Amino acid sequence: MSARGVKKAFTLIELLVVIAIIALLMSIMMPALGTIKKLAQAVVCQANLKQWCIIFEMYIDNNEGSLCADFPEGPGDLGGHVWPEALETYYCETQDLRDFSQRVQKGIRFCPTARKPWVSKQWGNADKFANTAWSLGDQLKIDAPPFASYGLNSWASNPSPGIDNLGLGRKATDCWRKPDVQGAHRVPLFLDCRFVGGFPEHTDRPPEYDGDLVLISDEMRRYCLNRHPNKTINSIFLDLSVRKVGLKELWKLKWNRSFDTSVEPAWPEWLRAAREY
């Protein structure tokens, strides 16, 4: 209050200056807050995968040191990708794969950035594609909710006796079968993925653009997702360690026994500035 007893108030100009300063501070802080959120989601994703390490370890211990079969065993299989069935007793309360309402530990099946299902109208939308979960509906012919946003390296599996040809020229002799192999820390086992699994080859091409949706060929693209900061994903390796993996690094990992890590693909524009490995 002034000496004359009159209350002193902000002028319109002073009020606008204050609002402008607040707006400026918010514009500076918002990108930082977004980055912090993404980093936190990446940490939670790694925490999920560490729980999957325990699940895989229990399965391996109970199956004479072998990895999942991950190939058709008869009617009712999931099109050659059976890790959800092989591991369900370790993460599910029910034995019925179709009884989704009785699932337990639902949270560990999803990267926190990828909980919602992908739908056809999102085709080509980079954010929607990289950050969506896949469903078992296509395999089970039912209306199924999203099942997971992680997938298996299908080469890290143990084909049943008598299975030599895995289709499309893939040989069972290229599979790892057991985790106790030389260089296990360079063999991906279970990681951020846009499908239940895949068979990456060193000849696979990277996605043409961020969000390129190709599931039939060049199966490395199922894992080459711009999901975490600095163009990375998270992965469990065959030695049951967990760490982030750069998208260009995917071609430097030993996916199968014949995978040539010296092959350098032609990087599309959106990946050229990504970190080299």
Give 192-258 as a DSSP string: E-SSSEE---TTPPPPSSTT----SS-GGGGT----BTTTEEEEEETTS-EEEEETGGGGGS--STT
Please state the domain extents for the chain: 12-271
How does pLDDT run across 5-39, given as a tens digit for each residue? 555 666 777 777 778 888 777 777 666 656 778 88
Is residue 35 a contact partner of residue 121, using CB atoms and an 8 Å limit? no
pLDDT at 32: 60
pLDDT reported for residue 102: 43
Of the candidates 169, 254, 184, the residue with the CA atom closest to the CA atom of residue 217: 169
pTM of the shown model: 0.80
53-92 core/surface letters (b: 16 or more CB in 10 A; e: else): bebbeebbeeeeeebbbbbeeeeeebebbbbbbbbbeebb
Q: 237: which strand partners?
A: 188
Q: Report residues of the chain scoring pLDDT below 50.
A: 1-2, 73-80, 93-95, 97-104, 121-124, 141
